[in-house]
Amino acid sequence: MYPTIFKFIHMYGLCIAIGLVFCFIVLRFCSQRMHIDEKFAEFVEMDGYISILAGFGSAMLFQSFYDFIENPKNGFHFTTSITFIGGLLGGTIVFFLIYFLYGRKKYGAKFIEIQSILPCCILIAHCFGRIGCFFAGCCYGKETDSFIGVKFPDLIHKVYPTQLFEATFLFLLFILCLYLVVKKNFKYTFSIYLSCYGIFRFLIEFIRGDHRGKFIGSISPSQFWAILMIVLAIVVFFLVWKFDKLHKQVKEEDSNDDSLPSLDA
């Protein structure tokens, strides 16, 4: 719609930048409210910076791979187009690699304390990213004569503004997860995020109109990963339950040890 303002500010990049700023504001806010160790929270933030950069590279790599699958005769070419789920997957892998190779050794097994905050950070950043897609005129829906249809400059017909549908959904899910974390100290926001977004993404793909390549039969790449996200939500639920239980046991044992009288003369 408005890819640039003032002739030099790209709205897509601006919205992504705003989303990332809010992402780390949410991380700091929730870390303070939940009394997360300050040094560990700073490490998670630095890990996040690196993982986001890796995520952008992964997003481009995944889209290049999808393009190659659809037209292998053209050869493999690295594209500047990105796909969110590919970026999320690559960024998540890098995040956990850094945590287990460095963070866990330095700060101990504290990830369970902060993991519930991370979906809130992802959701608010993704929300602004989808608003950026709307301004850029990408990730649009199928043609429609409905009153909610939007006419983009490069398209002949009005289309569903799927970018705004998704941005609205992501913001509402962000509010829900933030409330559960801050007010209820809820530990399973990752499962809520993965299952809710997986279901939403699978369904909204049916009205997406931009061509992003085929993957398996009539299933789009995003629908394939959406199914895996739903399955992963169940796995993550039981993992969080298990490690949270172990973490509480360790804290109780440490508390009991501290309460014992000293035997020093």
260 confidence band (pLDDT: 50, 70, 90): very low
Closest by Cα among 126, 129, 160 to 143: 160
What is the distance between the alpha carbons of residues 222 and 154, in angstroms, rounded to a whole number? 24
pLDDT of residue 212: 65
Whether 125 has a pLDDT exceeding 60, the answer reads yes
Whether 108 has a pLDDT exceeding 50, the answer reads yes
CA–CA distances in Å: residue 102 to residues 96, 106, 120, 220, 247: 10, 6, 24, 36, 19
CA–CA distances in Å: residue 19 to residues 83, 174, 179, 202: 16, 12, 19, 23
pLDDT of residue 146: 92
What is the distance between the alpha carbons of residues 73 and 13, in angstroms, rounded to a whole number? 32
Closest by Cα among 220, 164, 231 to 194: 231
Could you read off the pLDDT of 189-221 as tens digits, one per residue? 999 999 999 999 999 999 998 876 666 767 888
pLDDT of residue 264: 44
Sign of the Cα torsion 94, 96, 101, 107 reads positive
pLDDT (mean) for 244-253 = 79
For the chain, the structural domain boundaries read 4-254
What is the distance between the alpha carbons of residues 76 and 137, in angstroms, rounded to a whole number? 26
Could you read off the pLDDT of 11-70 as tens digits, one per residue? 888 999 999 999 999 999 999 999 999 999 999 999 999 999 999 999 888 878 777 766
How many other C-beta atoms lie within 10 A of the C-beta of residue 93? 14
How many other C-beta atoms lie within 10 A of the C-beta of residue 117? 26
Whether 122 has a pLDDT exceeding 60, the answer reads yes
255 confidence band (pLDDT: 50, 70, 90): low
164 confidence band (pLDDT: 50, 70, 90): very high
pLDDT of residue 247: 77
Closest by Cα among 112, 115, 117, 110 to 37: 110
